[in-house]
Structure 1
């Protein structure tokens, strides 16, 4: 069982999450479109490529790197049969500029978090922030599809590894 859990850690991309999406996929899903410049959170400035017509443009190269890290982390949790909780914010129920109570509590308890962080949000409490558009339905659909594919891939890899270990 030790080998089963340690093997994925010896490879930087054991689950091949890099092949799940491309920069073009992110662009086509409008992930690069941030909020108006006036809404920008100062901690999001390193993730901003530029500004066009007063709208922040998110650096998709950084989004790719952060999304790959987040997917890889999620895959490791799924592979180890961990619990993954998905939380969505309904804008009309929460103040956009306040951190979600679940995020704040997770940070206090050292529970790792993954989150899509738009240009108007503070990324500091998120363990694996993904700079990207959180308003576009196509972007949200892409994120959900990628996390679903990653979790399925990790669980399948676990089954394959268990079968292989049983045959030894």
Structure 2
């Protein structure tokens, strides 16, 4: 008896009270699962159903869809503002090995962890905001912005970033052809080089170390550059460096998204200013037209007033006291000799 009671107590301890409050079997009713046999039957029933994903799919779980997502399937909605938490979640703070760290990158390094350089994101956020302000200003001025990402995992990112800016956005996702900026007449025809504006106003590089030729040509053509600089690169190779992990597609997605949204905001401000200028010009034209109408109306009113005053100043022949000229008056008078009047 003591052995049976011990087994019963052990079975009760093994039954989780908060896992399943009530039984799924109709013959057991709505009473809680209290015995070891009830719990065993419930486990067998769950094993027949399948995995936990199949069990909880009826309750709105989409874990199966999230597991099949890949970055190449589509870029997620970009974040408009740069935050340390978003960059930290994307792995932007991971640098290369400490032995490969460039000496000029030391001001942007937080420290070393497990022989890997940790990038200080407190420096990344303000530099990223500065680059966003530059992109916004260039888009507002009507400049052409070029996104460059020549890795396979960056193709969709640069394409989407350029699409957000519209007609002022361009991208290169395959390979930078040497001489695109410095030898345009040889790559294209001289007529196309003369008629087409092939020099961008701003270049954004997501993997700058692979495109050092592009950076040199931009420096010769006096084109400002923005680039994601990792711990193994010199931040001085670009004009506006953004210290972050250049091998993380999530980091490149965040950076390109923030910069492209800034460019779209610049376009919106430019369109708003153009509309305001058109409205101002239209208002000036309307004011000039109505001023001319008022001048013409005032001239007509003055002319009508002069006519009325002239009419009032003329004498009325019916009300005049002077007698009209009568020819008979000369007949009664004596005519002097030697003069003749012919009437």
- What's the TM-score, normalizing by structure 2? 0.41
Tell me the residue number matched to 2:62.
Answer: none
Equivalent position SS for 2:223: coil
Larger RCO, structures 1/2 (Cα 8 Å, 6+ apart): 1
Tell me the residue number matched to 1:54.
Answer: 115
Q: 1:122 and 1:164, CA in 2 relative to 1: closer, same or farther beyond 3 A?
A: same
Q: 1:68 and 1:83, CA in 2 relative to 1: closer, same or farther beyond 3 A?
A: same
Contact between 2:82 and 2:129, CA under 8 Å: does it hold in 1?
no
Equivalent position SS for 2:232: coil
Contact between 1:97 and 1:120, CA under 8 Å: does it hold in 2?
no
The 5-angstrom pairing of residues 1-168 of structure 1 reads: 20-90=81-151, 100-168=212-280
Q: Distance in 1 between matches of 2:214 and 2:228?
A: 14
CA positional deviation for 1:120 = 0.7
CA positional deviation for 1:21 = 2.3
Q: Distance in 1 between matches of 2:210 and 2:85?
A: 32
Q: Could you tell which deviates more after superposition, 112-121 or 141-150?
A: 141-150
Gaps of 5+ in 1: 1-18
Q: Distance in 1 between matches of 2:118 and 2:100?
A: 13
Q: Which runs of 4+ in 1 moved over 3 A?
A: 96-99
Higher alpha-carbon Rg: 2
Q: Could you tell which deviates more after superposition, 40-49 or 98-107?
A: 98-107
Tell me the residue number matched to 1:9.
Answer: none
CA positional deviation for 1:137 = 1.5
Tell me the residue number matched to 1:16.
Answer: none
Q: Deviations over 1:91-115 (max 9, x none)?
A: 9x9xx86761010121233221100
Q: Distance in 1 between matches of 2:239 and 2:111?
A: 24
Q: Distance in 2 between matches of 1:131 and 1:70?
A: 12
CA positional deviation for 1:23 = 1.5
Considering fraction of residues, name the structure with more helix: 2
Q: Deviations over 1:80-131 (max 9, x none)?
A: 110111122449x9xx867610101212332211001000111112110001
